[in-house]
């Protein structure tokens, strides 16, 4: 048990594990387990402390098993479960997962697995008969309301019992389903998983939510976070796990209640940050507030997610340089656990899918020197208070961490800067580009290039 767990008993509102809060997550989107394993040295060298896999469960097979991210195959087929067993044709076998997790442990990297208990595949005939029988038969698999489309996402009954995007909504309150699903979760943990990302988490009811006609209690989250057992089965290693859910913010999302069980996503903040990057002006949004009701230490943050990139291409127009600028700002902050979405290899604005192959490593942006420096800065600045400063024209942001370090982000053109700072007086050399800066009488000055990020730390010449 960690010191953090002993200070915060499990039946009280929790925060993410202390050892995770100063780290960063690489979302290895569409990478196979073998690909992740082969590239763990790069991931570790880039300063990521966690890697998030695509779903590991058996899933729908479309287009005769095509392996395009989009085309003859689909990235979202691995978001259509057909059974809760480890291994699928897109990500790899159970044995490949075990090899990957074992190797990740050697590098001190925590493996987070994307899980999605809320629904099954559209094609219900593809769902495993073994799975259906284990949960009590066809009538017990889905909510009474589970095949009806959600019309009002702020109606909590519809939101937590209805079909999201037409996907049949599983009766997550069925104890037979909970036991079957938890068996899968515990097997992943036994193979080396160190945490989970719960897809469509806000569509799984909380204890305070209205119950489906087939549910006696809304106790999915108490069971899946280890507060309750089901048929004698409990969550393994519950106090060691990093668990967060895709709780997209809306008018009636119950952010605080979800945060009593799991970490939650700061989706509104991501939208604000993308607007800043588009406008090239840090003044156009309030980035000091996290725009969230939960404790900032509960938040998983991002510049973009696989949904903002893939679904409507909402963030796909941003360049890699803009993503790096947003990432540096986000990773340098004291709170929130940042997630870096790895775009497909060969992708660019106007060419969203790039080389378009499921299983392969994504593009090189995750180990660009600016990203690496931001990741290392975050860990080096552990425990240092945060101060934010912005240039008068809004083009430059400074994230100062006590008197020990500063991250600078310039969204505009090349120009000189003069900003307040908490850094000690002296001459500094940026860790990324070797650019010199001067701090004198509480002012940081230097020249910043267009769409560049910089990291200054206490290794200085006075």
Residues identified as active-site? 199, 246
CA neighbours closer than 13 Å in the CB half-sphere of residue 419: 29
Contact present, 432 and 373 (Cβ < 8 Å): yes
The residues near 33 (Cβ < 8 Å, ≥ 6 apart) are: 53, 56, 91, 92, 93, 96, 97, 99, 100
d(CA 368, CA 364): 7
How far are the Cα atoms of 26, 110, 351 from residue 52, in angstroms, in the given order? Answer: 6, 9, 24
d(CA 241, CA 182): 14
Contact present, 167 and 138 (Cβ < 8 Å): no
């Amino acid at each position: 048990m960690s010191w953090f767990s002993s200070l915060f008993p499990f039946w009280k509102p929790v925060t993410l594990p202390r050892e995770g809060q100063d780290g960063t997550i690489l979302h290895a989107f569409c990478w196979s387990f073998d690909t992740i394993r082969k590239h763990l040295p790069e991931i570790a060298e880039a300063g990521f402390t966690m890697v998030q896999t695509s779903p590991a469960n058996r899933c729908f097979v479309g287009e005769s098993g095509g392996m395009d991210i989009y085309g003859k195959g689909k990235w979202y087929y691995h978001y259509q479960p057909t059974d809760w067993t480890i291994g699928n044709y897109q990500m790899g076998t159970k044995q490949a997962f075990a090899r990957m997790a074992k190797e990740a442990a050697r590098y001190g990297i925590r493996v987070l697995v994307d899980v999605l208990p809320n629904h099954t595949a559209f094609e219900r005939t593809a769902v495993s008969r073994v799975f259906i029988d284990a949960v009590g038969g066809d009538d017990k698999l889905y909510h009474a309301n589970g095949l009806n489309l959600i019309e009002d996402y702020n109606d909590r009954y519809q939101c937590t019992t209805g079909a999201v995007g037409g996907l049949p909504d599983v009766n997550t309150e069925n104890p037979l389903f909970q036991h079957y699903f938890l068996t899968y979760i515990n097997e992943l943990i036994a193979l080396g998983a160190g945490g989970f990302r719960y897809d469509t988490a806000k569509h799984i009811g909380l204890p305070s939510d209205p119950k489906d006609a087939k549910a006696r209690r809304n106790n999915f989250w108490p069971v899946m976070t280890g507060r309750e057992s089901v048929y004698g089965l409990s969550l393994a290693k519950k106090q060691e796990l990093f668990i967060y859910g895709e709780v997209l913010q809306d008018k009636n999302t119950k952010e605080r209640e979800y945060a009593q069980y799991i970490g939650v996503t700061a989706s509104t903040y991501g939208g604000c940050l993308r607007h800043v990057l588009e406008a090239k002006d840090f003044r156009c949004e309030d980035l000091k507030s996290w725009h969230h009701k939960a404790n900032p230490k509960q938040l998983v943050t991002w510049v973009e997610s696989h949904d903002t990139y893939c679904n409507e291409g909402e963030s796909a127009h941003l360049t890699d340089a803009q993503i790096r600028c947003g990432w540096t700002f986000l990773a340098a902050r004291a709170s929130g656990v940042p997630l870096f979405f790895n775009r497909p290899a060969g992708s660019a604005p106007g060419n969203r899918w790039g080389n378009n192959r499921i299983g392969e490593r994504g593009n090189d942006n995750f180990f660009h020197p600016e990203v690496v420096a931001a990741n290392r800065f975050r860990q080096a600045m552990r425990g240092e208070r945060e101060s934010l400063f912005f240039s008068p024209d809004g083009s430059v942001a400074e994230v100062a961490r006590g008197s020990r370090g500063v991250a600078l982000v310039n969204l505009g053109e090349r120009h000189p800067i003069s900003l307040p700072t908490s850094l000690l007086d002296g001459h500094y050399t940026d860790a990324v580009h070797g650019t010199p800066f001067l701090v004198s009488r509480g002012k940081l000055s230097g020249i910043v290039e267009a769409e560049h990020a910089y990291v200054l730390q206490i290794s200085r010449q006075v």
